[in-house]
């Protein structure tokens, strides 16, 4: 069995340049993990924060479980992230000292059936950085297109 990606935060890679990634566990209730396995998750407006020596995921939307009853979970509640204390200390130091942000990149189910989240230490991109990235991507695409046409003999 291999890990199964549930959702990817595409907006994060567009708006931030990712310097490093960290894997963390996530504390979920019974109906939340069922919704996650059903793929009803949105990380688009989510971010992570370190408060009082613990890491928290804020703003992630996990839809209510259809088979749930009146005890269904709150869709946007703050969820605890599971990291070692030394990892939390390092992330806290890097986010405060270097002005980096913790952004969730993807949520997946591990080989052992546990929900994990991949966090990125990110720096916000300026508008000109985004334009340069788009121009570079278009240039690579055009080059690949011309190489493919050359191989086809056009």
Q: Structural domain boundaries of the chain?
A: 4-124
Q: Would you identify the CATH topology of the domain 4-124?
A: Small Protein B; Chain: A; (2.40.280)
pLDDT confidence of residue 48: 92
Cα distance between residue 62 and residue 42, in whole Å? 7
Please determine, for residue 104, whether its predicted confidence score (pLDDT) is greater than 90: yes
User: For the chain, percent helix, then strand, then coil, each to nearest 5?
Assistant: 35, 35, 30
What is the percentage of the chain residues whose pLDDT exceeds 90? 38
Cα distance between residue 52 and residue 32, in whole Å? 25
pLDDT tier for residue 15 given thresholds of 50, 70 and 90: confident
The end-to-end CA distance of the chain, in Å, is: 44
Please determine, for residue 1, whether its predicted confidence score (pLDDT) is greater than 60: no
pLDDT confidence of residue 30: 84
Reported pTM: 0.75
Cα distance between residue 149 and residue 154, in whole Å? 5
How many CB atoms neighbour CB 134 within 10 A? Answer: 11
Tell me which residue of 70, 68, 114, 123 sits closest to 94, measured CA to CA.
Answer: 123
What would the pLDDT profile of 71-93 be if each residue is shown by its tens digit? 777 788 899 999 999 999 999 98
Average pLDDT in the 58-76 region? 82
């Amino acid at each position: 069995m291999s890990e199964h990606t549930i959702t990817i935060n595409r907006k994060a890679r567009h708006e931030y340049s990712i310097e490093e990634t960290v894997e963390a566990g996530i504390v979920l209730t019974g109906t939340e993990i069922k919704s996650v396995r059903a793929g009803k998750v949105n990380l688009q407006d989510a971010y992570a924060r370190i408060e009082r020596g613990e890491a928290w995921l804020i703003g992630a939307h996990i839809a209510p479980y259809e088979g749930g009853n009146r005890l269904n979970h709150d869709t946007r509640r703050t969820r605890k992230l599971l990291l070692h204390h030394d990892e939390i200390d390092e992330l806290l130091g890097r986010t405060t000292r270097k002005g980096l942000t913790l952004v969730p990149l993807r949520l997946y189910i591990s080989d052992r059936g546990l929900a994990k989240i991949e966090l990125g230490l990110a720096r916000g991109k300026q508008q000109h950085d985004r334009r340069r990235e788009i121009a570079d991507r278009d240039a690579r695409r055009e080059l690949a297109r011309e190489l493919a046409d050359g191989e086809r003999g056009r």
